[in-house]
Amino acid sequence: MSEQGRVITYADAGVEALREEMRRDDSIVYIGQGIGPRGGNFRQTRGLWKEFGDERLRDTGICELGATGAAIGAAMAGTRTVIDEVFLDFALEAITQIVQQAANISYMSNGKIKAPVVIRGAMGAVRNAGAHHSHTFYNWFANTPGLKVALPATPYDLKGLFKTALRDPGPVALIEHKSLYNTKSVVPEEDYLIPFGDARIVREGKDLTIVAMSRMVDLAAKAATVLAQEGISAEVIDPRTIVPLDRTKITNSIRKTGRLVVIDESPSYCSFAGELLAIAVEDCFDELQATPRRICSLPVPNPFSPVLENQMIPSVDRIVREVHEVMKQVRRVS
Distance CA 200, CA 223 (A): 17
| Contact (CB, 8 A) for 199 and 240 | yes
**Catalytic member of 16, 21, 64, 309:** 64
Known active-site residue 51: no
Known active-site residue 132: no
**Catalytic member of 133, 135, 265, 309:** 133
Q: From 123, 110, 114, 156, select the one nearest 3 (Cα to Cα).
A: 156
Distance CA 35, CA 331 (A): 53
Residues assigned a catalytic role: 64, 133
